[in-house]
């Protein structure tokens, strides 16, 4: 049914996380007249934490884009008009259709276009590169990429800005310089600069990360830092934390994993972290007192497990996307979800569906991390689970010292909601899961 | 595409925030690019997709630097390409 009406469903700026009040349209990926399929990403929204890809949950036709790229609008503001969709977005702040006439399907021809910007495909894929281009006042569209597939590198941006430096600084070296306040020009004589080169120099201004920005708008890293600071301060001020730790014996898990990985194609191989996340999610289902929120002076159990996963970004800061029904995923499924999440986080582009509210959060320091972590809870959750690096350690087995792969698991608990015994049961559950039930699924 | 380009492209694909041209060819690239085990597995997957070459876990010690990885890949790919 084609009706010449401009009515339809209003697609609203979604709420992507409990603390989001506004979002900026970074890029429209559709134009009026386009038909969109369920799950298609239609717009990139910049929040304080990350660029987020917002998908639609019903097939529809785009009638009109109501907000231009670059504009900042409050959550709930209509940003586009769609036709043929029951609900344009599953996000909580979706605006119900205003007088959507019956069968108000509008096709491409009935689209008075409000000077909508045309989405362009640029080769600038990395937010870091885009940020650099921004800083050097270079139009990303004018940069010629010399990387594989025409991708734009840091060098290309600098070349375009006329500030070419032929220094090659590794990510680790760049991070160490930032942390230690060391100026890159100190290494002008070197072709490549590695982390070890930086470590050889004395620290110039301790703790001196002097991020200077000419913009009035704070950089993404600054905003993210401010958010982490605010959340963690609130947690530490409000939540009476207690910390428990238990060393998990990963002997059986490691053997089984090595065996299973030998049989698998590379793409299907699992890392220990995926199993640890599975165990953390299933233990939360078994000990529901750890899985939920402290609200209005009482504990509110969550009923399902939506696992928050702390991902560290190389550029500094963390993102905490969530995995729905994490307790029901097999290790293989968990590995896939994790790989996708990490990749999206690295590109600075999470999806709206990654931003649900966590019921419990896990921080896994990974194989580059420290031995153990005593974490800070993400309010209003009541527990945070931590895993250190998997390491060989001397453990007692059958009364004899023996070397086995181990990991230090920890639980930070909100003492208003749970006690040491509950927390201990949670940690014991991890060992039980890693010794049997999970391994059978490999 | 030669073996080295394949590896560099794989690194860039898995870690878009890393510019592989910044990595010296003779150091531990996982350490310098700060790739964790998940990233590393991703790199191997991308290399496998491009070349069909499976690197078993037991060979991880032979592919620590980009030079060694290139050599490893070139040697193993030669009989196929002839």
Same domain, yes or no, for A207 and A243? no
Bigger pLDDT: A147 or A114?
Answer: A147
**The domain boundary residue, chosen from A178, A196, A218:** A218
Same domain, yes or no, for A310 and A427? yes
The answer to whether B34 contacts chain A (CB < 8 Å) is yes
> Residue A107 sits in which domain range?
1-121
Q: How far is CA A96 from CA A9, A180, A428, in A?
A: 7, 52, 47
Measured between CB atoms, which of A169, A194, A366 is closest to B36?
A366
Q: How far is CA A339 from CA A336, A346, A372, B55, in A?
A: 5, 11, 23, 19
- DSSP symbol at A375: -
Residue A120: pLDDT over 50: no
Predicted local confidence at residue A209, as pLDDT: 46
What is the per-residue pLDDT across A204-220, written as a single tens digit (0 to 9) for each?
655 444 444 455 677 77
Total residue count of chain A as it appears in this document: 442
Both tokens assigned to A412: 């930070």
Same domain, yes or no, for A174 and A264? no
Predicted local confidence at residue A71, as pLDDT: 87
Element (H, E) at B78: helix B66-81
What is the average per-residue pLDDT within A66-73?
88
Residue A2: pLDDT over 80: no
Measured between CB atoms, which of B12, B15, B45 is closest to A151?
B12
Predicted local confidence at residue B34, as pLDDT: 85
Our count of domains for chain A comes to 3
Residue A236: pLDDT over 80: yes
Residue A435: pLDDT over 50: yes
Chain B residues within an 8 Å CB radius of A269: 41, 57
Chain A residues within an 8 Å CB radius of B48: 265-267
CATH number at residue A99: 2.40.50.100
What is the average per-residue pLDDT within A353-381?
92
What is the average per-residue pLDDT within A193-210?
71
- Cα A230 to chain centroid, rounded: 18
Q: What is the complex's ipTM, to 2 decimals?
A: 0.73
The answer to whether A272 contacts chain B (CB < 8 Å) is yes
Predicted local confidence at residue A146, as pLDDT: 65
Same domain, yes or no, for A3 and A92? yes
Same domain, yes or no, for A191 and A245? no
What is the per-residue pLDDT across A313-333, written as a single tens digit (0 to 9) for each?
877 788 999 999 999 999 999
Query: To the nearest whole angstrom, how far is the Cα of A141 from the nearest Cα of chain B?
Result: 18
Same domain, yes or no, for A247 and A347? yes
Same domain, yes or no, for A209 and A233? no
Percent over 90 (pLDDT), chain B: 43
Residue A430: pLDDT over 80: yes
Same domain, yes or no, for A305 and A327? yes
Taking residue A298's Cβ as centre, other Cβ atoms within 10 Å add up to: 9
CATH class held by domain B3-81 = mainly alpha
Calpha distance B77→B82 (Å, rounded): 8
Residue A379: pLDDT over 70: yes
Residue A173 — pLDDT band, cuts 50, 70, 90?
confident
Cβ under 8 Å to B: A residues 234-253: none
What is the per-residue pLDDT across B41-78, written as a single tens digit (0 to 9) for each?
889 999 998 998 888 888 999 999 999 999 999 988 87
Calpha distance B42→A155 (Å, rounded): 25
**The domain boundary residue, chosen from A203, A218, A233:** A218
Same domain, yes or no, for A243 and A359? yes
Average pLDDT, chain A: 81
Q: Which residue of A has its CA nearest to B47?
A: A266
Same domain, yes or no, for A296 and A201? no
- Cross-chain residue pair A314–B17, CB shorter than 8 Å: yes
Same domain, yes or no, for A262 and A364? yes
Calpha distance A308→A302 (Å, rounded): 13
**The domain boundary residue, chosen from A196, A218, A240:** A218
Write down the pTM of the prediction. 0.71
Query: Among A47-61, A233-247, A409-423, whose mean pLDDT is lowest?
Result: A47-61
Calpha distance B82→B72 (Å, rounded): 16
Chain B residues within an 8 Å CB radius of A127: 17
Bigger pLDDT: A337 or A17?
Answer: A337
Same domain, yes or no, for A154 and A289? no
Both tokens assigned to B38: 């998940």
């Amino acid at each position: 049914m084609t009706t010449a009406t401009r009515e339809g469903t209003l697609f609203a700026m979604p709420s992507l996380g409990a603390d989001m009040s506004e979002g900026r349209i970074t890029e429209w990926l559709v134009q009026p007249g386009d038909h969109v399929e369920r799950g298609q990403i239609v717009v990139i929204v910049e929040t304080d934490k990350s660029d987020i890809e917002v998908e639609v949950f019903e097939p529809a036709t785009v009638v009109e884009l109501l907000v231009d790229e670059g504009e900042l609008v409050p959550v709930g503001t209509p940003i586009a008009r769609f036709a043929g969709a029951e609900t344009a977005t599953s996000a909580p702040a979706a605006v119900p259709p205003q007088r959507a006439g019956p069968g108000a399907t509008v096709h491409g021809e009935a689209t008075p276009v409000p000077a909508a910007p045309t989405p362009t495909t640029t080769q600038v894929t990395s937010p870091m590169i885009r940020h650099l281009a921004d800083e050097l006042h270079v139009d990303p569209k004018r940069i010629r990429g010399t990387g594989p597939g025409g991708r734009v590198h840091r060098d290309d941006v600098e070349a375009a800005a006329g500030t070419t430096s032929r220094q090659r600084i590794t990510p680790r070296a760049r991070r160490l310089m930032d942390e230690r306040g060391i100026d890159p020009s100190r290494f002008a004589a070197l072709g490549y600069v590695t982390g070890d080169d930086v470590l050889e120099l004395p620290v110039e201004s301790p703790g001196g990360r002097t991020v200077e920005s000419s913009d009035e708008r704070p950089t993404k890293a600054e905003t993210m830092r401010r958010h982490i600071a605010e959340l963690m301060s609130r947690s530490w001020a409000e939540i009476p934390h207690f910390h428990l730790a238990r060393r998990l014996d990963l002997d059986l898990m490691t053997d089984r994993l090595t065996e299973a990985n030998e049989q698998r194609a590379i793409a299907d191989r699992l890392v220990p972290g995926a199993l640890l996340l599975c165990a953390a999610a299933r233990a939360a289902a078994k000990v529901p007192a750890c899985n939920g929120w402290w609200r209005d002076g009482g504990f509110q159990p969550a009923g399902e497990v939506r696992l928050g996963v702390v991902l560290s970004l190389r550029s500094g800061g963390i993102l905490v996307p969530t995995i729905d029904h994490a307790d029901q995923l097999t290790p293989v499924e968990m590995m896939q979800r994790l790989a996708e999440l990490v990749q999206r986080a690295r590109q600075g582009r999470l999806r709206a569906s990654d931003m649900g509210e966590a019921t419990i959060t896990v921080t896994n320091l990974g194989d580059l991390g420290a031995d153990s972590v005593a974490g800070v809870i993400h309010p209003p959750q009541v527990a945070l689970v931590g895993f250190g690096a998997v390491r060989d350690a001397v453990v007692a087995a059958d009364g004899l010292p023996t070397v086995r792969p181990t990991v230090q698991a920890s639980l930070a608990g909100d003492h208003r909601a749970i006690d040491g015994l509950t927390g201990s049961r949670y940690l014991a559950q991890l060992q039980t899961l890693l010794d049997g039930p999970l391994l059978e699924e490999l | 595409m030669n073996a080295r380009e394949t590896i560099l492209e794989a690194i860039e694909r898995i870690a878009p925030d890393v510019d592989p041209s910044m990595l010296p060819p003779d150091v531990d690239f996982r350490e310098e690019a700060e790739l964790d085990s998940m990233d590393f597995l991703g790199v191997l997957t991308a290399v496998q997709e491009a070349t069909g070459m499976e690197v078993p876990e037991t060979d991880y010690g032979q592919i620590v630097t980009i030079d060694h990885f290139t050599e490893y890949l070139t040697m193993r790919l030669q009989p196929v390409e002839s």
